[in-house]
Structure 1
Amino acid sequence: MPRRFVYILYVLFFSLTVCYSQEKQDLKLWYNTPSGDVWENALPLGNGKIGAMVFGNVEKEIIGLNEHTVWSGSPNRNDNPDALAALPQVRQLIFEGKYKAAEKLANEKIITKKSNGQMFQPVGNVELTFSGHENFQDYHRELDIDRALSKTSYKVNGVTYTREYFTSLPNRVLVIRISADKPGSISFEANFTSQHANNKIEVNKEGQLSLWATTSTHEGVEGKVDFNALLATKTVNGNTVQTEQGIKIEKVDEAILFVSIASNFEDYLNLNADERKRAKEFLNKALNKEYLELKSEHINEYQKLFHRVALDLGSSKAAEKPTNERLANFRNTEDPSFVALYFHYGRYLLISSSQPGGQPANLQGIWNGSMKPAWDSKYTININAEMNYWPAERTNLSELHEPFLSMVKDLSSTGRETAKTMYGARGWMAHHNTDIWRITGPIDGAFWGIWNGGGAWVSQHLWEHYLYTGDKAFLKSNFDILKGAAEFYVDFLIKHPYYPYLVVAPGNSPENAPEAHEGSSITAGSTMDNQLVFDVFSTAIQASEVLGNNDAFIDSLKVLKNQLPPMQIGKHNQLQEWLDDVDSPEDNHRHISHLYGLFPSNQISPYRTPQLFAAAKNTLLQRGDVSTGWSMGWKVNWWAKMQDGNHAYKLITDQLTPVGVNRGGGGTYNNLFDAHPPFQIDGNFGCTSGISEMLLQSSDEAVHLLPAVPDALHTGYVGGLTARGGFELVAMEWKNKELVVFTIKSKLGGNLRLRVPNTIEVIGNNTLKRGEGANPNPFFKTAKTAEALISSKSTIKPLQLAETFLYDIETTKGRTYTFKMSK
């Protein structure tokens, strides 16, 4: 058979597979009971600016409202100027082993005396009251994540009522359509409610329901965010009556509700916008369009993003059950399509909570019903906020990274003053937490807040975005941010008096504390701090090489990087968390921060650093599986990097377990929100990233396909995942954990190095050769990890890895390449 004809057959096969995969799966969360008053039962909608929680109650429907800029407080700073004078004494106490004394002094002189961060707050609720709907039948509610629509339907007295909801991506409004299969059957009252003390609810002169309020004053920072929500209605037949604080709809055939929300927030320094004018403009734009037009525009805009990736892992009878029942049974049954649903749900949540021009997804994405949410629903940047954006590049949602990258730019500005004021350092930095006002001072006490690696970590997202997109203009415009992160550590690092290294002091390994350090987290030269500084220096060096602007400062980074502590393998065959070998194999702390070097960084590799790789596995085993929801999400990624698909899948089942079942750990709520507990969205995003890492990795010098496929998912299909170097996995089918056929598109050109589980051949007139030596593609260049120091008591040995095959093929920008299993 001619090779060209074979190629055409494969292209046709892939086209059919993509359509089949997306149409076959019923990508819906659905339930046969209302949410009641349980917020975690409600279904989330969002467009990156507005968040809505749809309860689906029959008699009194509740739609919880959020807007991305509705936060307590106002522009403020929280640096502590006493830190600079106290810094030498804090360091001396650390070096003398007086950790508790150092922690006490840090609490007095370094931790902020001002705001510990402001709160993301709800706008209020839309409440729809339907009299006479007490006795309902045939109840159904759903969230269609293929179209970003929610729907509730039920029957009363022989009439079927349907409510459809969406938060329009292009039109900045929440839209609700209420219909019935019998004319004149729809009667209800619409109201706003709000928990804000300073609120005003009225019907304006246009007959629209208006909610206006100002956010809370918190920790001495005056609440100055004013916001306005407007609700307008369109009806077919029947009557609309205005009440003092609501709108009454009587005997209509159809009712369409429009909700717009806006605030006076311009940016983290300015509150100069006119919230009423903005809300009115958003509303009027939507009112000028027909419902079907709004719906079609929304679905089209959403599916441009969502349909980039398809995943089919097979199905079973378990998929026929309501979502809450599938969740309850998942750990004890075969339900592979539930994994695919959860993966897609993570992408849905990112699309819904993070859009260009908006605020980044916070601890709860864009959904919060409490005036005082857990951890203020801020941005915890010692893991959680970064985890939110792990799916952005690898699951083909690169432009949704923008709100986070924009926040990094803001922090590089506010963090410059913090670096100078508190530590006498150039460059910029951030501690472990921030908020909409971009605070960078240390909060919550020295045990948590003394960590200064927030800026170091978030800046790595700029580099990651470049590695996936190859956008040199973006890199050039952000180079000073990368350089500034390095400048801080050039000035902050200090020579350890008892070790031959430059160390971060004070530092810590986030939120953990060894008994040998008097139960204090404060330390010098923790492994995570060393890894972060290594990445900050390496990124600045590599970025300067790409841009061709090497200078003496960059040369100095190369010298300083060699003076950082190397990673160490301790007496328990573990990757040491601290500079001294004091880890306990009984420690099951939720943070395993020193495995940052395994993921999301690439300092630990099965091929380049096999002993460190083995030590990382021992650390994972010692820490255990069940933990908080976000911790289990991170572990899915780690076990994928370990090339252990079965253990990664075990962590997925642990995470997809109802809240309260995992003793001492997190799980998942009925609406598939991740539970710390309480709700934190990071675990959703972390697990979505982990599932993609099980199928494709690209951080270790090659595009590695099927690195960690579990037995439970031995056969499947995926299309649309992306890799570093601008490579897109257009389609891939595997069977019995081996590649059958796959196509890759090269968006940037250059060498494509493939690591695969079985031998393959390329279709068409292309040359595929065995991969040898360093990958010449610069996007896959890795900084050399220093040789590990190994305890004399260690018996570490490299792990036995599954056989893989390495191939190279030179690609041309814009072309696709198809491969198949070789016989």
Structure 2
Amino acid sequence: MKDYVLKYKEPAPLCNENQSDIDRSDNQNDGWEKWALPIGNSYMGVMVFGRTVTERWQFTENSFCRPSHGCREGGLNNFVEVYLDFHHDKVENFQRSLSLNDAITRVQYDYEGVTYSRDCFCSYKDKVFVSKISASKKQTLNFTISGVTPFLELENTYEVSGDKTGEVKYISNEMIVKGTMSGYQLVYYGKFHIQNIDGEVITTPEGINIKQATEVIITASLGTNYQLKESIFLEKDNNKKLVDSPLPYEKVEKCMQNSLGYSYDQLLQRHLDDYHTLFNRCELNLYGEDDDISTDDLVATYRSGFNVSQYLEELYFQYGRYLLISSSRKNAYPANLQGTWNRYHNPPWTAGIWHNINVQMNYWPALSTNVKETFDAYLDYFMAYLPRAKEQAKFYVKHNMPENYEGDHVDYGWCIGTGASPYHIGNCGSPLENRVGHSGPGTGAFTAQLFWDLYQFTEDERILKEVTYPILKGMSTFLSYTLIKQDGKYLTKMSASPENRHKGVHHTTVGCGFDQQMTYENFKNTLFLADKLGDDGPIIKKIRNLIDKLDPVQVGASGQIKEYREETYYSEYGDPLHRHISQLVCIHPLTIVNSSTPEYVDAVKRTLDLRGDESTGWAIAHRLNVWARTKDGERSYKILLSLLRKGTLTNLLDTHTPYQIDGNLGGTAGIAEMLLQSHEGYIEVIPAIPGRWHKGEFKGLVARGNFVVDAKWECCEPKEITVSSNKGNRAVIKSNKMPKTILCDDKYVSYSYNNSHLTFETEVGKKYILRY
């Protein structure tokens, strides 16, 4: 694999001369969002600024939240800011970098004849942050480390937000961070251990001074009294959600002591062994060259059109995989709107876990780009909130659909609204206001689709029986109660196309495209699995009777996929240039529209043209995925250009504005869709390849059926395809011509070829090489 490195020749700039970038006064000029480099292990996230006078490390822990009031007040909070005062103001040969291959940041420069370096990483295996700070000459390393728990002085606008306390103490060679957040009765605790190899440690009330050292190792562990469990979501009183949770002191201390049992080199190797297991599975080579250009210059020249770098496109693809690995691992936290990085008191949209597109985009690349384990964090989160989601479904039907309510003893499945956090999930309707908010019941089906894909990609029987089928069946149960009969069709009674407005208000209607399409696909997938498992119970009979009366896709007079049933011409209702393209879920991530429905594909393209390419970063990434599904390589590439030029900051983070991680992860998923698709019952290599990528190769992308696919192509035509079979399924590959050979273990494989589809049997663990 190539080296993929974000690199810069200058430190992250300051907001102003007073280094007041803790204050959210101008987030576009804040080095946190645009310049700092992210590392993380899902237990914590750290933004590394790479400064030489005063270095700044900003720490986030995703359970460290205030109760939210709407989407503007409260949410994830800044855990601690750490400052290292070096006072190196005139340095030479400066460079800072983030290695995606190794998940390590490095700062290196010369000052007064000495080379100083700082390496930082977050170890998932040991649950710690580790930094090695060293000097090339003995006993020339001098600095002070101190910490700040920010936002203690801010008054909360809403009573529900809670008050924050915090303090930083320095004891011997350790910095202790601790405090409370009253909104959830949250207790937080962090410890920073400073190991001075050969110098002097002087502890003061203001910080820890390191004198005349050669090498210093800093290790950090942090946590709260949060525990992911069902009672968190079932308990309605915020003050009682954590009542039975143990305080964080013991687990933080234990984690620290375990890590101190290893040398720095051992901790580093343990980190690399774990990280490489995931990151190294997938490669993309578009034959772009790393010409030793700093990443900010690379982005700038790409924006100008002067140098459309295929290396930057490769780097961006792998950056998304890196961010997902760094922010979503089992037994930790799922990725939120900002992954696992936040320095705000009131982060944008609370840095929540939002379910009407954002969390779905976060996990679109998990399966296709071969980092399935990153989805485990969301799966655990889902299972914890599921009992609450079942309560909400019963409440929704009882109050919003009284004509369909059959009594308290009935199972109504589960439902979820848009907003969520580690402490709550949102409702998908408000009976008091007779509306569904800005997103309809299809939001839950949008979420359930993730679990359908989980089974499709893995074909794991345990996942089928214990996860996917119960989740899809539960969602189908709920959706079946949200329908009313109208004009011979069954339509979602209280329906909304996510976040779109008509005449200034969120438009509540009946049977909009988003809800109807989501309901149809969830019913279809549930019935498929029911047949597979031999389930023909009452709910299966019910949805079998309903599915053909849903009318999920309609084409309007403008040639568009209709967003609302009541529209005739495009944009009669809603914003014509809205960032969401919710009426197009029918083609992605769903499969209602596909190659066998060319008239619908044309309507999708027409809708995309009318909606426009320009939007926020994540919405451009969404458009990229949809265009890739139309198999239009040139238009897909045009959208990718726009994403990198207009939706990407100098540290390659996506901007809404402000920064949101779903744009990065959705962008990576979109590139994967351009390279490999498998949603139509067959594997298709380079289905949306642009002329700029006329030659290239990838390794380790995953197709449904649990096939791992490698491919090489020239002149936009496959030259070699390798299919590794993990389940022994029959392989079906779309191919415009027959291969010269198919080999397995150097033996010829028999196959059939019909209507551009090549079919052959496979065995578990075998590789099949197709050469053209």
Same fold by TM (over 0.5)? yes
Structure 1 match to 2:374: 400
Letter in 2 for 1:573: G
Structure 2 match to 1:225: 186
Structure 2 match to 1:473: 462
> Is the partner of 1:673 in helix, strand or coil?
coil
Structure 2 match to 1:357: 331
Would you say the 8 A contact 1:573–1:618 is kept in 2?
A: yes
Would you say the 8 A contact 1:527–1:578 is kept in 2?
A: yes
Structure 2 match to 1:368: 342
After TM superposition, the structure 1 = structure 2 runs for residues 475-494 of structure 1, keeping only pairs within 5 Å, are 475-478=464-467, 479-494=469-484
Structure 1 match to 2:519: 533
Aligned-CA RMSD value: 2.0
| TM-fit CA distance, 1:492 | 1.8
Letter in 1 for 2:4: L
1:674 aligns with 2:664: no
After TM superposition, the structure 1 = structure 2 runs for residues 369-768 of structure 1, keeping only pairs within 5 Å, are 369-424=343-398, 426-442=412-428, 448-449=437-438, 451-478=440-467, 479-496=469-486, 499-514=487-502, 520-584=506-570, 587-606=576-595, 608-657=596-645, 662=646, 667-729=647-709, 731-761=710-740, 762-763=742-743, 764-768=747-751
Structure 1 match to 2:32: 39
| TM-fit CA distance, 1:186 | 0.5
| TM-fit CA distance, 1:266 | 1.1
1:256 aligns with 2:233: no
Structure number with higher relative contact order (C-alpha < 8 Å, ≥ 6 residues apart): 1
Structure 2 match to 1:323: 295
Query: Structure 1 pair 551/727, CA: closer, same or farther in 2 (3 Å)?
Result: same
Query: Structure 1 pair 47/520, CA: closer, same or farther in 2 (3 Å)?
Result: closer
> Is the partner of 2:76 in helix, strand or coil?
coil
Query: Structure 1 pair 566/354, CA: closer, same or farther in 2 (3 Å)?
Result: closer
Distance 1:755 1:212 in 2: 58
Structure 2 match to 1:151: 106
> Is the partner of 1:466 in helix, strand or coil?
helix
> Is the partner of 2:90 in helix, strand or coil?
coil
Structure 2 match to 1:806: 757
Letter in 1 for 2:454: H
| TM-fit CA distance, 1:201 | 3.0
Q: Which stretch shows the higher mean deviation, 690-699 or 805-814?
A: 805-814
Distance 1:589 1:581 in 2: 16
1:122 to 60, 71, 78: 78
Aligned length: 707
Q: Which runs of 5+ in 1 are unaligned?
A: 1-21, 75-112, 773-804
> Is the partner of 2:730 in helix, strand or coil?
strand
Deviations for 1:232-259, whole angstroms, at most 9, x for unmatched residues?
0111211011111421110101001011
Distance 2:192 2:506 in 1: 52
| TM-fit CA distance, 1:521 | 1.4
Letter in 1 for 2:195: K
| TM-fit CA distance, 1:757 | 4.4
1:27 aligns with 2:10: no
Q: Which runs of 5+ in 2 are unaligned?
A: 15-30, 153-163, 233-240, 399-404, 406-411
Would you say the 8 A contact 1:447–1:511 is kept in 2?
A: no
Letter in 2 for 1:597: C
Distance 1:472 1:334 in 2: 45
Structure 1 match to 2:175: 209
1:70 aligns with 2:64: yes
Would you say the 8 A contact 1:468–1:725 is kept in 2?
A: yes
| TM-fit CA distance, 1:202 | 4.1
Distance 1:677 1:115 in 2: 15
1:243 aligns with 2:216: no
Q: Which stretch shows the higher mean deviation, 719-728 or 396-405?
A: 396-405
Structure 1 match to 2:273: 300
Would you say the 8 A contact 1:751–1:809 is kept in 2?
A: yes
1:170 to 125, 146, 154: 125
Distance 1:71 1:538 in 2: 38
Distance 2:634 2:308 in 1: 14
| TM-fit CA distance, 1:506 | 1.1
| TM-fit CA distance, 1:706 | 0.9
Distance 1:26 1:205 in 2: 41
| TM-fit CA distance, 1:118 | 5.3
| TM-fit CA distance, 1:460 | 1.6
Query: Structure 1 pair 207/181, CA: closer, same or farther in 2 (3 Å)?
Result: closer
| TM-fit CA distance, 1:433 | 1.6
| Percentage of pairs with the same residue | 30
Distance 2:713 2:204 in 1: 61
> Is the partner of 1:119 in helix, strand or coil?
strand
Would you say the 8 A contact 2:71–2:350 is kept in 1?
A: no
> Is the partner of 1:68 in helix, strand or coil?
coil
Structure 2 match to 1:273: 246
Would you say the 8 A contact 2:131–2:217 is kept in 1?
A: yes
Distance 2:736 2:10 in 1: 45
After TM superposition, the structure 1 = structure 2 runs for residues 102-141 of structure 1, keeping only pairs within 5 Å, are 119-131=75-87, 133-141=88-96
Structure 2 match to 1:184: 139
4+ aligned runs moved over 4 Å, structure 1:
113-118, 442-448
Distance 1:286 1:265 in 2: 22
Distance 1:304 1:194 in 2: 35
Would you say the 8 A contact 2:170–2:204 is kept in 1?
A: no
Would you say the 8 A contact 2:560–2:570 is kept in 1?
A: no
Would you say the 8 A contact 2:143–2:209 is kept in 1?
A: yes
Deviations for 1:260-293, whole angstroms, at most 9, x for unmatched residues?
1011011252521221111111111111110000
Would you say the 8 A contact 2:484–2:490 is kept in 1?
A: yes
Distance 1:757 1:511 in 2: 41
| TM-fit CA distance, 1:68 | 2.4
Deviations for 1:39-95, whole angstroms, at most 9, x for unmatched residues?
121000001111000000101100000112211139xxxxxxxxxxxxxxxxxxxxx
Query: Structure 1 pair 590/447, CA: closer, same or farther in 2 (3 Å)?
Result: farther
TM-score, normalization by structure 2? 0.89
TM-score, normalization by structure 1? 0.83
> Is the partner of 1:327 in helix, strand or coil?
helix
Distance 2:40 2:360 in 1: 20
Structure 2 match to 1:348: 322
Distance 1:443 1:679 in 2: 28
Letter in 2 for 1:712: R
> Is the partner of 1:702 in helix, strand or coil?
coil
| TM-fit CA distance, 1:36 | 2.4
Distance 1:738 1:361 in 2: 37
Query: Structure 1 pair 758/29, CA: closer, same or farther in 2 (3 Å)?
Result: farther
Distance 2:763 2:460 in 1: 17
> Is the partner of 2:733 in helix, strand or coil?
strand
Query: Structure 1 pair 167/245, CA: closer, same or farther in 2 (3 Å)?
Result: same
Query: Structure 1 pair 320/695, CA: closer, same or farther in 2 (3 Å)?
Result: same
Distance 2:149 2:61 in 1: 13
Distance 2:691 2:556 in 1: 33
Distance 2:666 2:735 in 1: 24
Distance 1:447 1:35 in 2: 43
Deviations for 1:121-152, whole angstroms, at most 9, x for unmatched residues?
12011110113x11111110000000000000
